[in-house]
């Protein structure tokens, strides 16, 4: 399989990218200044996003009629069920009709003995399709990022769909920055991202995109409350959005309310400009968490990191401490400060990886606007001398390089992960009442190999698990992997738990994963993988595999491991020829980023063997006339895929 460096992939873009630094600090255009009118031959599109709320059992065919009536050409949808116990049919296929002949479903997770995820429905044919998981540590549902490439009037557009997590801001910031890195790596010149972002705590959450992207919900200060349900934990309802590169002009945004879902349909009219998207060096501070000792009324610390130099953080009286918390460590280069009218005579800068142990970085005065930084940084602390009337900061920016994870070892951190002996694991029964009983045994599962077998007797509800606690490194990526099968249990009877703890043994709630109903259970062994990132203060992880709920039966577990990994971020499959005659061949190649990724094993496949086959070397052989997707598919329930369309004449 051919691998390219990130720099080579970026160089393959169809349009040149102009490098500039930071958010724009030029005065805003007058409010009455109209957007320049494009030429009459500009390419236009109408794009949309809709969380279809599968739990409400919506009428998908009626939804398809609604988007057709509004002239939508391509739409991303979230929360769709496929052949599970909640909706026992392929909901994505109900979008397929004469108006929308092209549909793709991207699995976020196994759910209720079926599947759950996101997808795309389109009037435009898919030239490429891929989906790769995004980091979901601390979420109750693993997430994915879907990408389809379409073409209109000779222009290629990469259309992305995702559904980021609701559990906490810390997780969403990690997901947002990961998505930004993937979009930056994409060689296609026009990029559109649609999602239920679950950005329900503040309008500031979208600021992380502002230096390189246009935002539909919030354009010109107009916000749409796209969530129409009830949730007391939500502070804002502007959770759905459409985001584009800056060579795409968003001209109009609208929503449509339907009682079929708890989200409104949102669509935008866009223009594909005949120019390259300006590629700004991403300000790592944008949209990140920032706190201050004190803040004056009608001000907010987020004013420092909102990509707007006209909004200013105003402190109270006395010495001030400002702490910027990044979503992850970066290889920091510099810290830029734009002071307001009142600046301290002196200030001190410190950096940290864990938020506890800080190292002095530099000292400055009110004349200092740039501080050189060097090394990995996750936290930045500024201590400002007292200023009469309080200090002011208009923008606080941090620039640095994305750090590609490394896996220093491929050793399994668990004892007896192969289940060949009883060492390492303990059975913990948390059942407090009822007739449920649990037993742990080790028995032959396949020729010469043993597996752990947890058997539940008694129909009433119970909870028992086998578990181990292991030491881990902070700010690192790991993968929990195991083989599983059952006799009579179902998806709701299994729970996997990854409980991260600090040095004192306290659970780190923002990074706790405890997921039930997330497996497709079967009588044959299946492979399951779950990637997670450790918190900045993580010292250990408890891994627990539970049998829960009502009913009787057994769960077999084997080849259980926790290993350091380098997660896959992007997979691009290309063919040297995309049009073949019957009997001809084409060669496939793949760019997998980062090139050191080792969390997923992928194999060459054809999605229709009657039209074309693909051998282990990526050679496509055309068998019959038609159109077929060929490419790479992962071999576990951690689904990653990437295909290119081949036309056979």
- Each residue's pLDDT tens digit, 569-586: 999 999 999 999 999 999
State CA 199 to chain mean position distance.
13
3-class DSSP assignment, residue 617: coil
Query: How far, in Å, CA of 323 to CA of 333, rounded?
Result: 18
Q: Where in the chain is the domain with CATH 2.60.40.1080?
A: 569-649
Q: What is the pLDDT of residue 34?
A: 38
What's the confidence (pLDDT) of residue 525? 92
| Number of neighbouring beta carbons within 10 Å of residue 291 | 12
The structure tokens listed for 161 are: 């769909």
Is there a contact between 143 and 164 (Cβ–Cβ < 8 Å)? yes
Reported as type and span, the H/E element at residue 341 is none
Q: What whole-number distance in Å separates Cα of residue 305 and Cα of residue 104?
A: 37
CATH of domain 289-401: 2.60.120.260
Residue 188 in contact with residue 149, Cβ under 8 Å? yes
State how far the Cα of 326 lies from the Cα of 319, in Å rounded to an integer. Answer: 23
Looking at domain 426-564, does it have CATH number 2.40.37.10? no
Q: Which CATH class is domain 569-649?
A: mainly beta
Q: What is the mean predicted confidence (pLDDT) over 334-340?
A: 98
Q: Are 530 and 638 in contact (CB under 8 A)?
A: yes
pLDDT tens readout for residues 418-458? 999 888 998 999 999 999 999 999 998 876 789 999 999 99
pLDDT of 2: 27
Residues of the chain with CATH 3.60.10.10: 45-280
Residues forming CATH 2.60.120.260 domain(s) in the chain: 289-401, 426-564
Helix (H/G/I), strand (E/B), else coil: 250: strand
Closest Cα to residue 138, out of 638, 517, 518, 512? 512
Give the pair of three-digit tokens for residue 534: 């450790």
Residue 383 burial (10 A CB sphere; 0-12, 13-18, 19+): middle
Q: Tokens 């930004």 belong to which residue?
A: 180
Rounded Cα–Cα distance for residues 544 and 466 (Å): 6
pLDDT at position 33, please? 35
d(CA 509, CA 474): 15
Band of pLDDT at residue 40, cut at 50, 70 and 90: low
Rounded Cα distance, 172 and 178, in Å: 10
Q: Pairing state of beta strands 570-575 and 585-593? A: antiparallel
Mean pLDDT of 254-259: 96
Reference 208, options 275, 128, 305, 73; nearest CA is 305
Lowest mean pLDDT among 242-246, 373-377, 403-407, 518-522: 518-522
Task: Identify the residue whose tokens are 């790592």.
Answer: 284
Q: 65-122, pLDDT tens digit by residue?
A: 999 999 999 999 999 999 999 999 999 999 999 999 999 999 999 999 899 999 999 9
- Give the right CATH number for 45-280 from 3.40.50.10580, 3.60.10.10, 1.10.3720.10, 3.60.150.10: 3.60.10.10
Q: What average pLDDT does the chain have?
A: 92
**Spatial contact of 54 and 91, defined as CB atoms under 8 Å apart:** yes
């Amino acid at each position: 399989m051919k691998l390219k460096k990130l720099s080579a992939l970026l160089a393959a873009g169809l349009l040149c990218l102009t490098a500039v630094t930071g958010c724009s600090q030029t005065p805003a255009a007058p409010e009455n200044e109209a957007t320049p009118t494009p030429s009459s031959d500009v390419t236009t599109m109408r794009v949309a996003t809709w969380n279809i709320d599968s739990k409400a059992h919506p009428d998908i065919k009626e939804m398809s009629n609604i988007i057709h009536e509004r002239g939508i050409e391509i739409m991303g949808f979230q929360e769709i069920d496929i052949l599970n116990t909640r909706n026992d049919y392929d909901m994505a296929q109900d979008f397929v009709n004469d108006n929308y002949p092209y549909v793709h479903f991207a699995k976020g997770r196994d759910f209720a003995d079926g599947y759950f995820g996101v997808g795309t429905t389109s009037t435009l044919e898919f030239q490429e399709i891929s989906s790769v998981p995004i980091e979901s540590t601390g979420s109750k549902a693993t997430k994915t990022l879907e990408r389809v490439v379409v073409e209109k009037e000779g222009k290629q557009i990469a259309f992305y769909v995702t559904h980021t997590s609701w559990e906490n801001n810390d997780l969403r910031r990690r997901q947002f920055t990961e998505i930004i890195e993937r979009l930056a790596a994409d060689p296609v010149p026009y990029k559109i991202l649609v999602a239920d972002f679950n950005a329900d705590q503040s309008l500031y959450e979208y600021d992380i995109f502002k230096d390189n992207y246009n935002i539909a919900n919030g354009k010109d200060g107009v916000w749409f409350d796209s969530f129409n349900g009830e949730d007391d934990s939500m502070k804002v309802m502007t959770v759905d959005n459409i985001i584009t590169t800056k060579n795409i002009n968003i001209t109009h945004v609208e929503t449509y309310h339907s009682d079929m879902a708890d989200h409104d349909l949102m669509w935008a009219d866009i223009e594909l400009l005949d120019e390259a998207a300006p590629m700004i060096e991403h300000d790592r501070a944008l949209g990140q968490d920032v706190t201050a000792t004190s803040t004056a009324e009608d001000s907010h610390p987020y004013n420092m990191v909102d990509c707007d130099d006209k909004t200013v953080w105003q402190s109270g009286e006395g010495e001030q401490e400002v702490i910027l918390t990044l979503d992850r460590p970066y290889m920091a280069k510099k810290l830029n400060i734009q002071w307001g009218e009142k600046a301290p005579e002196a200030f001190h800068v410190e950096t940290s990886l864990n938020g506890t142990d800080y190292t002095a970085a530099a000292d400055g005065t009110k004349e200092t606007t740039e501080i050189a930084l060097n090394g990995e940084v996750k936290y930045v602390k500024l201590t400002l001398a007292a200023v009469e009337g309080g200090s002011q900061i208009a923008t606080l920016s941090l620039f640095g390089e994305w750090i590609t994870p490394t896996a220093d070892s491929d050793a399994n951190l668990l004892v007896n992960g192969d289940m060949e002996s009883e060492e390492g694991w303990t059975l913990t029964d948390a059942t407090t009442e009822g007739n449920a009983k649990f037993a742990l045994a080790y028995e032959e599962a396949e020729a010469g190999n043993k597996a752990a077998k947890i058997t539940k007797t008694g129909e009433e509800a119970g909870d028992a698990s086998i578990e181990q606690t292991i030491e881990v490194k902070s700010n690192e990526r790991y993968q929990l992997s195991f083989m599983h099968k059952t006799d009579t249990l179902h998806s709701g009877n299994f729970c996997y738990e990854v409980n991260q703890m600090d040095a004192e043994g306290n659970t780190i709630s923002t990074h706790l994963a405890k997921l039930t109903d997330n497996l497709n259970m079967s009588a044959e062994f299946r492979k399951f993988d779950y990637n997670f990132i450790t918190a900045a203060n993580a010292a250990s992880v408890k891994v627990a595999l539970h049998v829960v709920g009502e009913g009787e039966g057994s769960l077999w577990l084997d080849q259980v491991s926790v290993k350091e990994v380098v997660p896959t971020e992007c997979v691009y499959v290309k063919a040297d020829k995309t049009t073949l005659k019957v009997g001809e061949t084409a060669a496939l190649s793949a760019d997998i980023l980062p090139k050191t990724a080792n969390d997923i094993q992928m194999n060459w496949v054809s999605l229709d063997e009657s039209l074309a086959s693909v051998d282990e070397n990526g050679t496509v052989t055309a068998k019959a006339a038609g159109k077929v997707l060929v490419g790479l598919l992962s071999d576990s329930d951690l689904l990653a895929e990437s295909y290119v369309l081949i036309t056979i004449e």
